[in-house]
Structures are given as structure tokens and as C-alpha cells.
A and B are shown apart, each in its own frame.
Chain A
Amino acid sequence: MSLADGLAFAIRALRGHRVRTGLTLLAVAIGVATVVVLTALGEGARRYVVSEFESLGSTLLAVIPGKTETTGAAAFVSVTTEDLTLADAEAVRRGVPAARRVAPMTMATETVAHGERRRQVVVAGATSEFLEVRRLTLSRGRFLPPGDVHRGLAVAVLGAAVARELFPAADPLGGVIRIGSARARVIGVLAPRGTQLGMDLDEVVVIPVSRAMRLFNRRSLFRILIDVHAHADLARAKQAVVDVIRERHGEEDVTVITQDAVMASFSSILRALTLAVAAIAGISLAVAGIGIMNVMLVSVAERTAEVGLLRAVGVGRGQVAGVFLTEAALLSLAGGVIGLAAGGLGVAALIAAYPALPARPPAWAPPSALGLAVVVGLVFGLVPARRAARLDPVTALGGR
């Protein structure tokens, strides 16, 4: 029996039960489409995060107080031995030639008010370098003046949303706001930027770092951001920073992370998540396989006389098994192809609804889903096929 004849025979049989065939195809299609759409979501999230990091440039280093080990439970335990100070930042600026910009910063949440309008925002203590290190732009006014590291002028730069909220009608430039109990004059407004790495830069107020540390009673910096000249300088700069700090603190009590490392770990976490989601979606394919088995068992029971006839006219057991296996494989393959198409439409709908999310299934997902569907069809088709093959011809023909 040729393959074409086998397929034609199977298609005739499947078309004989349109409703049953249609529902089974639907079950497989849903399973495959689920895999495609969910992995597209997971991969989309990963791409989104990666592009966020890339928008910051790949020349960024962050010095964080405390030595953290990135293995095992120690990753959650950080021991701060000595404060990371503005003097440390100065030392890095002087001692690391690869560092193009050094931006020490601190962070706190505080109530900011203008007249009766008040708002709880993130107050970032920073220096003039912060603007360029974080790739920010101003829509109005000026940023923090350079050279003012230790004095700490009573000035502030508002995030776009904060400026809108506190000064709905008036011009914020030159206005005086209260940060906690202290006053500051608004000298600039940031251009709208949105959330970047979990920090809403529209909802921030930037003031000089030394003033912030006094206001919030901080002895240690939150971190020092360092922008190096080129990506190739990263490793050397990182070592140089560690050397400078070790010399000053007597031990290596800071952690220097590169943007690359953070991005890589985010990326691998999201990739694992995508895999997990794909595995869960794969379970729905297994359920569809049980549906195929059920349909094929019913089919074998209904077509017992046909099996008897086939055996009588000289069709072997293997061929009978092949007839039913072919039908199961066709069901899963056709369902899988429909599922791929439906999944593609689903992904297109996702992109239309959330243009910012680069939703696209990873390259392995559609072929794996289709392959899994066919394997599932064959595996679950095996039991019905064996049952058909083992029918006694005389009994199947209704004799005895």
C-alpha cells in the first residue's frame, strides 16, 4: 500500500465524521496555539527587558555597597562593612581613567509639595552626571549644575508627571517646592520618559546628592553609576574600581555589576519562564492527545465490521494498525497546523493590542509544538491501533 493511498483512505475515514474530527482538531489546535501565544508573550517580555537595558547603553557599571555573592543563598545576604561615600566616588573619578562619567546617587521616598498640592515621590540625590549616565533629556530649564558635589544647592529637577501635578497651571521653573521640611527651587523639568528598569522617571524629583544625604540622614550612597568610554573598557574599569575601593576600605566590600550581567540574568530568568509556560501549554496538548485516543477508540469500535472485512480481503494486522495510526497522526498534524495559524493570528492580535511588547514566539516554539502534537497523536493513537489490529477477523465480521 502506497503512502498516498494510505493518506487518502485515512482522509476519507476522517471526513466521514466531520463533527467528531472537527472537535478533535480544535482540541489539538488550541493546545498548539496556546504554546505559540504564551511563548510569544514570554519571549516578548524578554525582548522588552533586553531592549530597556540596551537603551541605557552597554557601557554602564554600578557600584553597590556590600559584597554580594551570586551563588546560593548568599545572594540574598549582603553585609555592608563600610559606607560608600561621596569621597569614594571622587576617588573613583580620579583613580579610574576609563570612567568617563561617575554619578553617585542616593534614593528616598518623600512627600513633595507646592502650596496645597502634595505628592509622595521618589527623590533621587544625584550629580550633574546623572543626566547623561541615565540617558535622560530635559524639556525645560537646566539640570543640576556641575561641580556642586559637596555643597548641595537647594535646587530640584522635576520629573514630567511631578511637574504637571504640582504646577498644573503655573510655570514650574523658578517655583519653590518643599521636600519634606526643606525647600528647593525648581530649575528644570525632565522630558517624559516613562518607566525604566522599574523606576518611573516621570515620577521622580532629582536634587543634589550631598543635600539629599543630609535631608534623609544617609551616611552611605545608594550606588555609584559609572559610564565608561567603550564597552571594551568594562572589565578593566570594573577591576580598577574594585582596586580603588579596596585601597580605601581595606577590603573589597562593594559589588560592581555591569549592565550586561544584570541584563543577562534578567534575560535568562525570562527565558526559563518562557520554557515553563511552554511546558504548561504542552500539558494541554497531552490532554488533546487523550481526546484523540478517545475518538480513535470510538472509531475502532464503530468500524469493527470494516476491520473484519479488511482482514478477510487480505489486509494484515500491521496494515490495520497503520490505518488507525495514520488517522491519529493526521488528526494531530492537521490540528497542529491549524493551531500554528491560530497562534500566529493570536500573536498578531497581541502586537496590535500592545505595540510596545515585541511579542514573537522563540524560533523553537512553533516546530516543537507541532512536533509534540504529532508525537502525542501517534502515542495516544497506539492503543486504539493495537486494539484494531488484534481484532479476531471472524468475531469482527460478526460471526461465531
Chain B
Amino acid sequence: MIRLEHVSRTFVVGDTVVQALADVSEHVRPGEHVALMGPSGSGKSTLLNVIGCLDRPTAGTYVLDGREVSGLDDAALTQVRRHLIGFVFQSFHLVPRLTAAENVELPMVFAGVPRAERRERVAEGLAAVGLDPRADHRPEQLSGGERQRVAIARAMVMRPRLLLADEPTGNLDTSSGRQVLDLLGRLHEAGLTLVVVTHDPSVARRAERVLLMVDGGIVRRLGPDEVGAGPGASA
């Protein structure tokens, strides 16, 4: 699903060059569930952005779903994001003036999906995250966990093959977080490729593989059992 070869990403900040990703090579199989861990500034968000085609590598090649995307222009990357990738953010990023249903509908509106089909898929999506009774509520009327489930419904509504989640439980209490993780787990079981960035070892333990990043590079690849439960591992 994801094949990264010698991928680097550098930023110029003032006169200094910051190496956010340094020669990363990695392969994620279709349907795999991978967690990215590492301290702040280790490059895990940058890697997620590159994987999500929101950002482009400065060097190296990135092949997504059998197609090289590292050389594509903005319009082509937009199409890739629209049809292949779903995003879930720590801060949900729901549009506050729209209802839950309208937020879920949003990607389809801009993709030109006909109205009748949209209504059907919104209903399905909200039912899948258990929020059909909340369809007409605005984000401010929903709890944090409910908001994240709406966001997941939105991420899934274009039927992507790859779901990218950046600290999906970072703003949630334990029980809401568990609900969200259970939901992601079910999506994975249905065949979705899942990449989750997290600080939380309990989140990482649900993955099949954990990539540990430091200073823009993947320094260790662990099985879920190898992720420590202690605070040291989540630094």
C-alpha cells in the first residue's frame, strides 16, 4: 500500500535547514495497522503528512497503491487525497456551523456526488459510528468522543483505502478514547489500511507494527508486544 524509499523532507527556517525526515524507507502492506511513535519533533507528523499527500518529500520516492505520487502536482495530489485517503485529526476539525450529517457530507459535496446518493451514504456513515440520532446536532452540541466519531465517519465517507489518524484520542477521556479506538479497530478488520500517530502506548499496542522515530528517522520497528507500558516508552 505504502512504499517509501529514501524519503527526506527538509524545511528552511530562517537561514537554518531543518531535516524533518531523513532518508526514511518503509513498506506498509495493504490492510496493515501501523503506529508511529516518537518524541515531539521526531518527524512522525511530517511523515504522516507525506504519506497523506498533504506534503511532498524533498527527496526520495513515494509509491502509494502502486502509483508513484512523489512527483505529482497539487491538483493530482488533491485527487489522490479525495479518493484514496481519509484523515482523522486530534482536534477533529469539524466545521462548526454545519451539523454532524453535513460535516460527513462535505467531502462528497465537493467531489460532486449526487444529492440522493450523498444522503444515503451520510446515513450509513453515521449509523456505522453509532451517531444516527445525532445527525442534526452541531459540533458544539456533541461530546468530544462523538465529535471524533463524526470525523471518522467523514474520513470514511469517500471510501478510502488508507486512513491516517494523528493522535486521534489526544483530546479525549479514556472511555471516549476507547470507543474511538474500537471503531478504528473495526474499520481495520474490514480491510482498511491504518496509520496512527500517537504518544500513547495503549494506542500503539493495538497496532500490528510500531515504528519508533527519532530525529526524522525510523530507529526501531517493534511488534505490539514490545511496546513498553511505562512512561519511558511514551516519551
Chain A residues with CB under 8 Å of chain B are: 1-2, 5, 9, 12-13, 15-16, 305-306, 308-317, 319, 393-394, 397-400
Contact = CB atoms under 8 A, between A and B. Distances in A.
A308 B109 contact: no
A106 to B, nearest CB: 79
12 contacts: A1-B111, A12-B97, A312-B81, A312-B87, A313-B82, A314-B78, A314-B158, A316-B74, A317-B75, A393-B54, A393-B55, A397-B54
A317 B93 contact: no
Nearest to A306: B95
B227 interface: no
A13 B109 contact: no
B70 interface: no
B112 interface: yes
Interface in B61-75: 74-75
Given A16-B97, A306-B95, A313 B107 contact: yes
Contacts of B154: 313
Contacts of A310: 106, 110
A309 B93 contact: yes
Interface of B: 11, 45-46, 49, 52, 54-55, 74-75, 78-83, 87, 89, 91, 93, 95-98, 102, 106-107, 109-112, 115, 154-155, 158, 166
Contacts, number: 77
A399 B78 CA distance: 18
Contact of B45 (A1, A316, A399): A399
B213 to A, nearest CB: 15
A317 B98 CA distance: 21
A309 B107 CA distance: 10
B7 to A, nearest CB: 16
A319 B110 contact: yes
Contact of B78 (A12, A308, A311): A311
Contacts of B81: 311-314
Given A306-B95, A398-B91, A400-B46, A1 B112 contact: yes
A110 to B, nearest CB: 78
A315 B110 contact: yes
Contacts of A15: 97
Nearest to A313: B107
A23 B204 CA distance: 51
A268 B112 CA distance: 54
A100 to B, nearest CB: 76
Nearest to B55: A394
B110 A313 contact: yes
Contacts of A5: 109, 115
Nearest to A309: B93
Q: Which residue of A13, A319, A397 has the most chain B CB atoms within 10 A of its CB atom?
A: A397
Interface of B is mostly: helix
A13 B97 CA distance: 7
Given A311-B78, A397-B54, 16 more contacts: A1-B109, A9-B109, A12-B98, A16-B97, A308-B93, A311-B54, A313-B82, A313-B107, A313-B154, A314-B81, A314-B158, A394-B49, A397-B89, A399-B49, A400-B45, A400-B46
Nearest to B20: A400
Contacts of A319: 110
B93 to A, nearest CB: 4
A20 to B, nearest CB: 13
A306 B49 CA distance: 17
B93 A397 contact: yes
Nearest to A398: B91
A314 B112 contact: no
B110 A305 contact: no
A248 B109 CA distance: 88
Nearest to A9: B109
Given A305-B93, A394-B55, A313 B106 contact: yes
A314 B107 contact: yes
- Of the listed residues B54, B91, B112, B154, the one surrounded by the most CB atoms of chain A closer than 10 A to its CB is B54
Contacts of B109: 1, 5, 9
A397 to B, nearest CB: 7
B75 A316 contact: yes
A305 B94 CA distance: 9
A317 B74 contact: yes
Taking each of A305, A313, A397, which has the highest tally of chain B beta carbons within 10 Å of its own beta carbon?
Answer: A313
Contacts of A316: 74-75, 78
B85 to A, nearest CB: 8
A112 to B, nearest CB: 78
B54 A394 contact: yes
Nearest to B92: A309
Contacts of B98: 12
A398 B155 CA distance: 18
Given A12-B98, A397-B89, A313 B54 contact: no
A316 B72 CA distance: 14
B111 A314 contact: yes
Nearest to A4: B115
B176 to A, nearest CB: 21
A305 B79 CA distance: 20
Contact of B112 (A2, A309, A397, A400): A2
B78 A309 contact: no
Nearest to A305: B93
Contacts of A308: 93
Contacts of B82: 313-315
Contacts of B91: 398
A2 B155 CA distance: 21
A311 B82 CA distance: 9
